Structure 1
Amino acid sequence: MSSISGKTIAGVRIPDSAMSAQATELLREHGSDLLYNHSLRTFLFAALNGQQNKLRFDAELLYVSTMFHDLGLTAHYRSDDKRFEVDGANAARDFLQGYGLPPQSLQLAWDTIALHTSPGIAEYKEPEVALLNYGAALDVVGKGYDQLAAHDREAILRNFPRNGLKKNMVATFYEGFKHKPQTTYGSMNADICACMLPGYVRPDFCEAIVQSPWSE
Structure 2
Amino acid sequence: MSTIIADIKIPDSKLAIGAAELLREHGNDLLWNHSHRVFLFGVLQGQNAAVKFDPELLYISALFHDLGLTKHYSSADKRFEVDGANAARSYLQQHGVPDTSIRLVWDAIALHTTIGVAQYKEPEVALIYSGVGYDVMGENFDSITEEVREKVVSAFPRNNFKNKILPSFLEGFKHKPETTFGNIKADVCARLLPGFQGINFCDCVLHSPWKE
TM range (shorter): over 0.9
Residue type of the partner of 1:178?
A: K
5+ residue gaps, structure 1, are: none
- Equivalent AA in structure 1 for residue 52 of structure 2: R
The answer for unaligned runs of 5 or more in structure 2 is none
Distance in 2 (CA, whole Å) between partners of 1:157 and 1:139 is: 10
Q: 1:93-132 residue pairs with structure 2 within 5 A? A: 93-132=89-128
- State the number of aligned residues: 212
Map Cα deviations across residues 167-186 of structure 1 (whole Å, 9 max, x no partner).
11111000000000010000
Separation (CA, whole Å) in 2 of partners of 1:81 and 1:165: 27
CA contact (8 A) 1:40 1:160 kept: yes
Distance 1:150 1:196 in 2: 32
SS of the counterpart of 1:50?
A: helix
Query: How many Å apart are 1:6 and its aligned residue?
Result: 2.2
Within the alignment, does 1:151 sit opposite 2:147 as a pair?
yes
2:82 corresponds in structure 1 to 86
Could you list the per-position Cα deviations for residues 111-140 of structure 1 after superposition, in whole angstroms to 9, with x for gaps in the alignment? Answer: 010000011000000000000000001101
Counterpart check, 1:63 vs 2:59: yes
The DSSP-based 3-state class of the residue aligned with 1:16 is coil
Report percent identity of matched pairs: 55
Do the aligned partners of 1:11 and 1:48 also contact (CA within 8 Å) in 2? no
Corresponding residue for residue 18 of structure 2: 22
Amino acid in structure 2 at the alignment position of 1:20: A
Deviation at 1:99, TM superposition (A): 1.5
What TM-score do the two structures reach when normalised by structure 2? 0.98
What is the one-letter code of the residue matched to 1:147?
S
**Which stretches of structure 1, 4 residues or longer, exceed 6 Å deviation after superposition?**
none
How far does the alpha carbon of each residue in 1:135-188 deviate from its partner, in whole angstroms, 9 at most, with x for none?
001101111111111111010011001001111111100000000001000011
> Is contact 1:77–1:87 with CA below 8 Å preserved after alignment?
yes
- 1:54 corresponds to which letter in structure 2? A
Tell me whether 95-104 or 128-137 shows the greater mean CA deviation. Answer: 95-104
